[in-house]
Structure 1
Amino acid sequence: MTALTEGRNTPEALGPMRSTAVAASTKIFAGAMVMVNATGFAVEGKTATGLIGLGRSEETVDNSDGANGDLSVQWKSGSFRYANSAGADEITAADIGKPCYAVDDQTVAKTDDTGARSPAGLIDFVDAQGVWVLFDPNLTRAATA
């Protein structure tokens, strides 16, 4: 491409809603953490490597019997509350601004469990009911690079 010589109507992605093709043999529940795998397909939050958090699922999508990309899931970026781990992996207010790691589709932890867990997002704040996770895959990748 060459440089512009006149004005351009550049497309804009409005709002925090996105859609991503779902991985084969995957079921994602409404409200679950949605992550993307190394091949670009959506999966539920889980203890695994090679994933990055996208956001909160806005629907239940059952691609259990399907191939990669047979279905898509609507997800939303932003800050959402999920369950906190316990013990040495419990997240506290001192961890605000740091990455957190997916344990399952509704639980986050302070550490990557010696490389076994993928980053879900950034710790936005912590309250008595859980951890508010800020989902922005670009910020999360930068924070964990």
Structure 2
Amino acid sequence: MPLTQDRMTASRDGELMPFAIAAGQQIFLGAQVAVNASGFLVAGNEATGLTYIGRAEAHVDNTDGADGDKTVLVRRGKAFLWKNDDADPVGQDLVGKPCYILDDETVAGTDGTGTRSESGTVLVVESAGVWVQ
């Protein structure tokens, strides 16, 4: 039903949000995280069907829990420095293009022949790693 009077709509900036963790997951502080096809948070890993979310702001262990038993705050909308994979590195030619999740701290330059999900957009490639937003 449409509004018929003014409404003070709740808001958040979306930068720091709680996400429900998938069953059997342990999320480490500083980990690259994504949501699975069911919408639950998982540690970054080499898999298809994941949607990159950001960086975990705490260590939360849900290895013995069911989907959604625990939550973790995730920082979003920022550039994070992830490790660059030695075997399939992100090169300078990928600046402005997507890179791919390899694990919870590493990105790769390709989708691994369809085995990896996108991490985000490459902003800077340097010796310390890859800045991804």
> TM range, normalised to the smaller chain?
over 0.9
SS in 2 for 1:27: strand
Question: Which ranges of structure 2 fall in alignment gaps of 5 or more residues?
Answer: none
**Following the alignment from structure 2 to structure 1, what is the Cα–Cα distance between the partners of residues 60 and 121?**
25
Note the 1:81-120 alignment, pairs <5 A. 81-87=81-87, 89-120=88-119
Partner of 2:67: 68
Q: Deviations over 1:11-51 (max 9, x none)?
A: 22125101110000000100000110000100000001110
Tell me the percent identity: 47
Distance 2:66 2:74 in 1: 20
Point out 4+ residue stretches in structure 1 off by more than 2 angstroms: 4-8
Counterpart amino acid of residue 8 in structure 1 = R
**1:14 & 1:54 partners in 2: Cα distance?**
15
What letter corresponds to residue 71 of structure 1 in structure 2? K
SS state of the match for residue 94, structure 1?
helix
The aligned residue for residue 127 of structure 2 is 128
Report the counterpart of residue 34 of structure 1 in structure 2. Answer: 33
1:66, 1:26 → 2: CA distance?
A: 8
For residues 59-89 of structure 1, what are the alpha-carbon distances to aligned partners after superposition, in whole Å with 9 as ceiling and x for unaligned?
A: 00100111101100111011110100124x2
1:131 Cα shift? 0.3
Q: Structure 1-normalised TM-score?
A: 0.86
Q: Which amino acid aligns with 1:83?
A: K
Q: Say which structure is richer in helix.
A: 1
The separation in 2 between residues aligned to 1:47 and 1:33, in whole angstroms, is 12
Kindly report the root-mean-square deviation, in angstroms, between the aligned alpha carbons of the 2 structures: 1.2
Deviates more, 1:6-15 or 1:22-31: 6-15
**How far apart are 1:8 and its partner, in Å?**
2.7
User: What is the alpha-carbon distance in structure 1 between the residues aligned to residue 28 and residue 68 of structure 2?
Assistant: 17
AA aligned opposite 2:85: S
